Structure 1
Amino acid sequence: MTMVEREAELALLEALLAGAVMGRGRVALVDGAVATGKSMLLHTFAEQAIELGALAVSATGSPLERDMPLGVLRQLVEDAPLMPQERERALSLLDEGVRAVKAGDVDGRPRLDAQLVSALCGVLLELSERCPLVLVVDDVHHADAASLLCLAYLARRLRLARIVAVFGHSDQARHTDTYFQTELLRQPHCRRVKLTRLSRSGVVAMVARQVGREPAERLADEWYAHSGGNPLLVTALAEDYAELARSAQQQPPAAVVAGEQYGRAVLACLDRGDPRTARVARGLAVLGDPGSLDRLLGIPATDVSRDLHALTATGLTSLGTFRHEAARQAVVAAMDAEERAELHRRAAELSYGAGASPGVVARHLLEAGRVDAPWGVDVLQEAARSALRAGQVDTAVGYLRLASQVCADETRRAKIMTLLVRAEWRINPAAPAGRLAQLAEAMHRGSLRGSDAVVLARALLWHGRVDDARDVLDQVHELGGSADPETLAELLVARLWLRAAYPPFLAGLREAPGEAGLAGIVSVSASRRLESALALAEVLAQGPREEHADAVERILEGSGLEEMSLDTIENSLLTLVYAGRSDRAVPWCDLFAAEATARQAPSRRARLAAIRAEIAVRRGDMPAAERHARSALKIIPVSGWGVAVGGPLGVLILALTAMGRYEAVREALDVPVPDAMFQTRYGLHYLHARGRHSLATGYPALALRDFQRCGDLMREWNLDTPGLIPWRAEAAEACLRMGQVEEAGELARAQLDGGVPDDPRGRGVALRVLAATLAPAARPPLLRQATGCLQAAGDAYELGRALADLVETYEALGEYRRARTVSARVRAVAAECGAPAPDAAPSPAGDAEVAPRPPAAEPVGALSDAERRVASLAAAGYTNREIATRLYITVSTVEQHLTRTYRKLGITRRADLPLVLEFDDQAAI
């Protein structure tokens, strides 16, 4: 096998062997750092010995056999091709030598008779007279002392023998007697062969043999940086790369991969080296930098420096740190659990004493799994807050869990657990459910008070534990005037939140003293939370107002996800949604969702996805609504959503129903929901969606029941605004399906009468349903108003429904040309929102023959912009007065524009106007 950058060394050994064959014995000491290729060089040389006219006899030292007398020499004797009598004599001498060694030593050296040593060495010397020998002893630094004594004796006497003795030796080893190396190197026939790490080009050449030239050269800097030129590490990196390339089966990896093989190679390098060097490596892996290793390990600084140098020479470290994080992790993972914990405990103390950041100290405490120092809990809390601010939620949870376990003060432990609940909530709201009972007990014992108790109450409500939540808040209210401003702020915000999300709960809750004048003394953060909660509550109770939208956008503007609670963001976004400003909510929602992803906050990402789904369904984008709703329910499982599951689940049902995917809807309806959900705003969304499905699948009575129940709750809770749910229009449609036309008309008019000017969506839906209660001749004006409102609201799905009703009305009136014109628009809108396209509008026999031909493009292009706008509306069926109102011009002006249009197009009547899409498909319907 061809070696990389070892050709000169191999040639030197071959030259020594050539001289030995001629009777000039030689000794070679091959040394270098661990895993620099010494064994490979010796193995290759031994394999080539036969080609050079010699026999190879080999042995390998081992730390496990260092106390086995004459173990290495026995390997050589057993590997030598001796005659039976010679082998028997040699083994007898070895046994005698073992007995002598075990009998005792002199001055720390084994007691061996000189004649016995001479006889043992004579066995190999005599063999060399018959055939030149290559004696190869690898890892000689692990050989037993008796074998070293004999090998040193042999080395001195083989100058005139046909023997080349090659010893592989680690230059970081401490276990070889110094006299052995001294004896070898002082001999004039001994040559030292120093192996160094591979160069950059050598690394590339070695990698190229395993993975090919292109990735070897493309990633040359990485191969070299991660391996340091250590052949063992280079080979391991190449194996990891090749394994990943095979599994990818497409594009090759874009970077060097430090995987399982690399970790094993790192550990192999440490196992082959000195145990103390390995211990220093473990300390470095724990501490992260070499600054305090001597104090961490209790080793003199000079020895630590020597071992660090050995690690660098091996290629494992550079500038006092591991070359790759995977190397450090491999070392840590291989450590004994007890040793690792103790090192981390001591590292925590050293880091704290050196003034390290709380995060550094807390990481060591967490790895140690215990806190002995009195400052430990403080450090863990501060580190957790810093981690939460940085978006490292999992790390913060680990710190808080340890702090709650070791904290002896019950009141403080309750506060830590409250912070832990908040942190776990960012990952999955179901995660902290098991801690709520503990916090409730702490509340009863008086250990949990103030704003932390309000947080507990809200968590209990999320999971439907209404009675427990009421009990907690009642206890907070009992504090009366002794409550601190922070607690009063939390109470006031909580009451507004309850008003918008849990109205029945608010009805039975006692007023908290001191809340009325709190707004002026709370913090900026609390003020924002208060303002956003108030805006949402007022939009739900009174309907949309432009000032509400402006107020919440000011709150959102320039704020990051960590600068305010998610409640503030949710309230602000939902205010925009329920105020009919979904288009303004989209960029904010996407911005915060991206930030939640970057900060690794799954719970926040899921809740924002639920809002994004609600936005999509109100804009009529049903595929997007389904996608975001499913994402929300995937990030947080249904069990983690608690009573809020009605939000994303309701949107999913609405979207699937609108797209006609009723089988998928049935799967969504089979998902179990908590009974407490129907006493929340989320339950209203679920009822609405279920009613829509019943209506679409031919069960209008069931649908009416859900819509009426929805309306009853909204009136009872003072949330009766179409911006939340247009339940009257939905109930009216159910009545129409049941033949109750009069009741339907009353419901539709009631929604119109109770609506507000800033709610074009609710008004458009009601106008569409009201038109269906009238005779066909009376419908077009209402339907055209409905389409105008829905187009302004940006709801493609409801716009499509209104357009479809307009097509049906034109057909009933025999205006097939207009029906066909609008039908094209219906199909376009249906495709936009993912809903099934309606059937093409039929026309009477012969209609195609008598239909007027559209004019050529040139005459149409001769119209002015004003003439085109008027002609578009006229072609769509608007009267002159309606056109005048829509375009803010006089009726006389409309007539003048039409007259000029007829003349330019060469037609005489309105029915001959070209199709609306020839003009402007957005302006006229």
Structure 2
Amino acid sequence: MVLIGRGQDIDRIHAAFHSVRSTGRSRTVLVEASAGCGKTEVLGELVRHVESLGLTVLHTTAIAEEKDTPLSVIRSLVNGSPFPDELVRRFHTMGDAAARRISDDGRDAARRDAAWYELMRTFCTEVRTLARREPVVVAVDDVHHGDADSLRQLLHLARHCCSVPVLLAFTRPLVGEPVGSGFHAELLRQPNLDRVPLARLDVRGITAFLAELGHADVSADTAERCFEISGGNPLLLRALLSDTWPDSTGLRPSGGPGSSQAPPAGPAVTPRAGQEYGRAVVACLDRSGEKVREVAAGLAVLGGSFSHNLLSRLLDISAAELTENLQALRGAGIVSGTSFQHPAAKRAVLDSLEPSHRLELHRRSAELLHASGAPPALAAEHLRSAGQADGAWAVGVLRQAAEQALLEDVAGRAVSYLELAHSASEDPLLRAEIKIRLGSVARRISVADAERHVDDALRVLRTGRVDPSDAGGLGELLLAHGRLEQARTLLDQGRRPVDGKRARADDGHDPLARRGAWQVGGRSVRPDPPGPRPPADRAGVLARLGGPSSGREARHIAGTEGLLEITQLTDTTFDFVVDAIRTLLALGAVRRALHWCDTFLGEAAVRDAPGWEAAFAAVRAEGALHGGDLAEAERDANRCLALLPDRHRSAFEAAAVARLVTVHVARGDHAKAARLLSRPVADSLPDTVHWLHYLRARGLYCLATRQYDAALRDFREVGRVAVRWGTDRPALLPWRTDTAEVLLRLGDRDQGHRMATEQLALVQHGPPRVRGISLRLQGLAAERGARVALLNRAAVELNRADDPLELCRTLFDLADAYRQARQARQAAGVLRRARLLAKSCGLETPRDRVGAHGTPEVPVQRVVAEPPGRRSGWEHLSESERRVAGLAAGGHTNREISGRLHITMSTVEQHLTRVYRKLNINGREELISEFRAGVQV
């Protein structure tokens, strides 16, 4: 199999040998081929042929590692020769003595030369003596690896054995490292030399090769593809076939390339370059010599940034050497032009490099590319591969390349460049700038990573190594992440004096005050983000969420959509786009908001920005809740969570959790809601606007499970923080009506009515959805005589808003109000409509409705503050365990329990673990059930 296509070459060598036998005169055959192309096999065929005739063959292989060992080749030849043992021992003794004289710093040159002459004369004499009896073949494989002294002996033999039947047969690469002592040049001068170059297989040769394996019916396309991958190199071809038919073990050489068991035949074959192919590539390089390996390594490292001059400088070799070794790679079928024949060949070369050497080549390549004026991305990619960068030039290159990568929507690469630039920089201010940029860029991929970079930048600022006035971008970034209080503090510290005095919050120079008109949904939108800017009139569009209804509201919606149509999604416009969509939600344009969410979700997915995609999915879940579609809200919230990494918790994750909790509470699936609320949260959550949505969702859960005290605490905390942060927007966070509903269930009708009326006054000219919610709670808190009218007004507003969830709740309350007013027919009709609407929405029929039994005035007994002792197992709890368990069952998080009881989070967790074990329960959800089982309501 290995000699397929080599028939003519073998015939030439046999002809040279038969000429020696017939004429009695010597000849020299030089078999030249690239590594893996069969020169060893061809020489072996000659040796086997001569030995089969019973003639003498002196055969050896020169080894690269013994190139500096004197007479290593000649000693190997005589070891296997028919020379008398005494002569062999004498030859070794003389060789050792000569080697010692060589190492004597040349101080005894005359004796050394005499020893060499004696060795050459002895070796030549013995070969001539053998040849006079019968023809002799002296065969040396890989002669280019021979030591200089042995090569001198072989040349002496070629010159002085012309009149005896001796065939000298050598193999060497077509191109590659020059052999020592001018051996090759001197050999070419011999008049009796036959050069036998072995070409690589062409497509026809590969077809014959495959046919020999039992693939006579293989398609021409398969043979062509085999040629493209292997380059016609028989060694690479055999390895390729081993990878293609991994179960045909006979294709893998065992003890030597050769015998094979034919793999299953079939024309539909797709050659696959795998592990065996990679090993064969490395084997070819090892056989080709050190210089060829170095050139292959340099070519693999440089990749697309290759140039002859660059590679020559990288390897510190001359242009002539480079050209010769590139020819060797092309001759072996490993390289085509200046590219590897197949990506698997490049991978094999890179994998074979010593890691430190590989990294050094990448680092040096980056330096050379930068010095030659190459695009920053080329040098940056080598720095990234090296995993290290040094010097201001490297930091500059990495930052430029990061911005270019962002333009090409390769955010992951941009982040890796910036992280490397940060580690390479020694300037604290520059490091802070890079961290701030990372906090913005990383949002495309992972909100958690972005938050981590923001935290790092804040820590640097707190060390005092960077002045707050020099970290202006950090304040804007904190706003983007919803960390409003930290942003205000930083922006206050960084404000410059205006006209000799510090700027005041109300003089137009306060950053947050100036953005006050832009605050939508708990965050402030920066009015002039760098990069592509929305039109200047957008402040007029987003300045108010309310205003007179109808025409003006419609103009606000149209203006906001107009801005979205012309705004390109970038790192600097992303927050504007998100807030503009949430503005549409606040204005009641739910369908349009969902449309724009879908538009930007698709764009984020196409641009491989999972962080952006998660943000738009969260907004879409909120929009679906506003539109009353629980199924869509659940799907979008789960999509958001799926796009967030598991390895780090982010504050933003709580936004998606809040949407899911709201969905499950609406469906009456309190167990799922409890499991979600039991998930660990990010430590930074209470410092962000996402905390408000999380608190509200938890309050809704506590309200649904009749934990009224806990619900009231959460809703009031939402209001307190929202007012303090300046994010009190009832259209998106109606905490007043949430509080009113709890107060009504606790029997405090006056306070409930006050809260509902206060919210209604704030949204009197706002979107119909929040007006409808406010009217519903105002109606529930009103006197019976006014209740029907207010609830009817609420139903009209919610019908306008196209919110079936809130409309359904209002209709149930309206049916109760009609029944209390003794209008049975109207009550039945409204109740029937409410039930149909609840079924279509997947909404649980509201239980314990405030007016269901005509008892909104009757106080509902509050949940007791401590768990009853008479329940089985509670009596085994210690006092501290009782306190922790009571707070946990009341809806408090571990962090809140820690703060109230002045103990560590770890202590809280240990207490809860013991409580679960003593009560024989599995978690917080069962603890709540156990607690409620003993509570009188």
TM normalised by structure 1 equals 0.70
Q: Which residue of 2 is the match for residue 319 of structure 1? A: 337
**Distance in 1, Cα, partners of 2:374 & 2:306:** 12
Q: State how 1:680-699 maps to structure 2 within 5 Å.
A: 680-697=688-705, 699=707
Distance 1:715 1:278, change over 3 A: closer
Once the two structures are TM-superposed, the CA of residue 440 in structure 1 deviates from its matched residue by 0.8
**Distance in 2, Cα, partners of 1:217 & 1:403:** 51
Distance 1:412 1:659, change over 3 A: same
Report Cα offsets for 1:520-577 as digits up to 9, x if no partner.
xx68859639876886673399999333332332222143322743211221122123
Q: State how 1:320-399 maps to structure 2 within 5 Å.
A: 320-324=338-342, 327-328=345-346, 331=349, 334-335=352-353, 347-348=365-366, 350-364=368-382, 377-399=395-417
**Distance in 1, Cα, partners of 2:651 & 2:298:** 50
Distance 1:195 1:640, change over 3 A: same
Residue 557 of structure 1 aligns to which amino acid in structure 2? E
Q: Which residue of 1 is the match for residue 612 of structure 2? A: 604
Once the two structures are TM-superposed, the CA of residue 170 in structure 1 deviates from its matched residue by 0.9
Q: Which residue of 2 is the match for residue 99 of structure 1? A: 97
Does residue 429 (structure 1) correspond to residue 435 (structure 2)? The answer is no
**Distance in 2, Cα, partners of 1:680 & 1:113:** 87
Contact 1:541 1:718 in 2 (8 A): no
SS at match of 2:452: coil
Contact 2:483 2:687 in 1 (8 A): no
Report Cα offsets for 1:214-261 as digits up to 9, x if no partner.
998656665544443334444555556667999xxxxx9998766555
Which segment is superposed worse, 788-797 or 194-203?
788-797
Residue 39 of structure 1 aligns to which amino acid in structure 2? T
Q: State how 1:207-286 maps to structure 2 within 5 Å.
A: 223-237=226-240, 261-284=276-299, 285-286=301-302
SS at match of 1:430: helix
Contact 1:28 1:191 in 2 (8 A): yes
Once the two structures are TM-superposed, the CA of residue 411 in structure 1 deviates from its matched residue by 4.8
Does residue 303 (structure 1) correspond to residue 321 (structure 2)? The answer is yes
SS at match of 1:103: helix
Distance 1:269 1:163, change over 3 A: same
Q: State how 1:66-105 maps to structure 2 within 5 Å.
A: 66-79=67-80, 86-87=84-85, 89-104=87-102
**Distance in 2, Cα, partners of 1:469 & 1:244:** 64
Once the two structures are TM-superposed, the CA of residue 353 in structure 1 deviates from its matched residue by 4.7
Does residue 671 (structure 1) correspond to residue 653 (structure 2)? The answer is no
Does residue 566 (structure 1) correspond to residue 574 (structure 2)? The answer is yes
Distance 1:712 1:345, change over 3 A: closer
SS at match of 1:608: helix
Aligned partner (choices 482, 501, 511) of residue 491 of structure 1: 511
Q: Which residue of 2 is the match for residue 65 of structure 1? A: 66
Contact 1:501 1:680 in 2 (8 A): no
Does residue 5 (structure 1) correspond to residue 26 (structure 2)? The answer is no
Which segment is superposed worse, 195-204 or 252-261?
252-261
Does residue 137 (structure 1) correspond to residue 145 (structure 2)? The answer is no
**Distance in 1, Cα, partners of 2:568 & 2:240:** 41
Once the two structures are TM-superposed, the CA of residue 168 in structure 1 deviates from its matched residue by 2.2
Once the two structures are TM-superposed, the CA of residue 669 in structure 1 deviates from its matched residue by 1.0
| Identical amino acids, percent of aligned pairs | 31
Which segment is superposed worse, 124-133 or 703-712?
124-133
CA-based RMSD: 5.6
Q: Which residue of 2 is the match for residue 648 of structure 1? A: 656
Does residue 171 (structure 1) correspond to residue 177 (structure 2)? The answer is no
Does residue 547 (structure 1) correspond to residue 555 (structure 2)? The answer is yes
Residue 569 of structure 1 aligns to which amino acid in structure 2? V
Contact 1:49 1:55 in 2 (8 A): yes
**Distance in 2, Cα, partners of 1:734 & 1:278:** 78
Contact 1:439 1:448 in 2 (8 A): no
Hey, which of these two has a bigger chunk of helix by percent? 1
Which segment is superposed worse, 429-438 or 322-331?
322-331
Contact 1:721 1:755 in 2 (8 A): no
Once the two structures are TM-superposed, the CA of residue 625 in structure 1 deviates from its matched residue by 3.4
Residue 273 of structure 1 aligns to which amino acid in structure 2? S
Residue 95 of structure 2 aligns to which amino acid in structure 1? G
**Distance in 1, Cα, partners of 2:148 & 2:407:** 60
Distance 1:593 1:114, change over 3 A: same
**Distance in 2, Cα, partners of 1:812 & 1:344:** 84
Q: Which residue of 2 is the match for residue 37 of structure 1? A: 38
Q: Which residue of 2 is the match for residue 538 of structure 1? A: 544
Q: Which residue of 1 is the match for residue 473 of structure 2? A: 452
Distance 1:668 1:638, change over 3 A: farther
Distance 1:790 1:117, change over 3 A: farther
Contact 1:233 1:265 in 2 (8 A): yes
Contact 1:430 1:640 in 2 (8 A): no
Contact 1:228 1:315 in 2 (8 A): yes
Contact 2:655 2:694 in 1 (8 A): yes
**Distance in 1, Cα, partners of 2:315 & 2:340:** 18
Distance 1:455 1:672, change over 3 A: same
**Distance in 2, Cα, partners of 1:113 & 1:99:** 10
Once the two structures are TM-superposed, the CA of residue 497 in structure 1 deviates from its matched residue by 8.9
Distance 1:779 1:68, change over 3 A: same
Aligned partner (choices 576, 584, 589) of residue 576 of structure 1: 584
Once the two structures are TM-superposed, the CA of residue 31 in structure 1 deviates from its matched residue by 1.0
Once the two structures are TM-superposed, the CA of residue 64 in structure 1 deviates from its matched residue by 0.6
Structure 2: 5+ residue stretches without partners: 250-266, 848-937
Once the two structures are TM-superposed, the CA of residue 653 in structure 1 deviates from its matched residue by 1.8
Residue 545 of structure 2 aligns to which amino acid in structure 1? V
**Distance in 1, Cα, partners of 2:55 & 2:791:** 105
Once the two structures are TM-superposed, the CA of residue 629 in structure 1 deviates from its matched residue by 3.0
Contact 1:370 1:406 in 2 (8 A): yes
Residue 473 of structure 2 aligns to which amino acid in structure 1? D
SS at match of 2:451: coil
Residue 193 of structure 1 aligns to which amino acid in structure 2? V
**Distance in 1, Cα, partners of 2:187 & 2:687:** 91
Once the two structures are TM-superposed, the CA of residue 67 in structure 1 deviates from its matched residue by 1.8
SS at match of 1:436: helix
**Distance in 2, Cα, partners of 1:668 & 1:338:** 47
**Distance in 2, Cα, partners of 1:213 & 1:657:** 69
SS at match of 1:686: helix
**Distance in 2, Cα, partners of 1:788 & 1:111:** 119
TM normalised by structure 2 equals 0.69
Distance 1:527 1:132, change over 3 A: closer
**Distance in 1, Cα, partners of 2:832 & 2:225:** 66
SS at match of 1:73: helix
Structure 1: 5+ residue stretches without partners: 247-251, 507-514, 840-925
SS at match of 1:431: helix
**Distance in 1, Cα, partners of 2:226 & 2:800:** 60
**Distance in 2, Cα, partners of 1:240 & 1:782:** 78
Does residue 199 (structure 1) correspond to residue 189 (structure 2)? The answer is no
Distance 1:330 1:804, change over 3 A: farther
Residue 653 of structure 1 aligns to which amino acid in structure 2? V
Once the two structures are TM-superposed, the CA of residue 361 in structure 1 deviates from its matched residue by 4.0
Contact 1:277 1:308 in 2 (8 A): yes
SS at match of 1:561: coil
Report Cα offsets for 1:250-284 as digits up to 9, x if no partner.
xx999876655555444443332243333334444
Once the two structures are TM-superposed, the CA of residue 684 in structure 1 deviates from its matched residue by 2.6
Report Cα offsets for 1:588-610 as digits up to 9, x if no partner.
33443444445454433332332
**Distance in 2, Cα, partners of 1:533 & 1:4:** 79
Q: Which residue of 1 is the match for residue 893 of structure 2? A: none
Which segment is superposed worse, 702-711 or 152-161?
152-161
Q: State how 1:728-877 maps to structure 2 within 5 Å.
A: 730=738, 755=763, 759-762=767-770, 793=801, 795=803, 827-830=839-842
**Distance in 2, Cα, partners of 1:799 & 1:15:** 102
Report Cα offsets for 1:778-827 as digits up to 9, x if no partner.
99999999888667655565567678889999998699999889867765
Q: Which residue of 1 is the match for residue 490 of structure 2? A: 472
Distance 1:763 1:98, change over 3 A: same
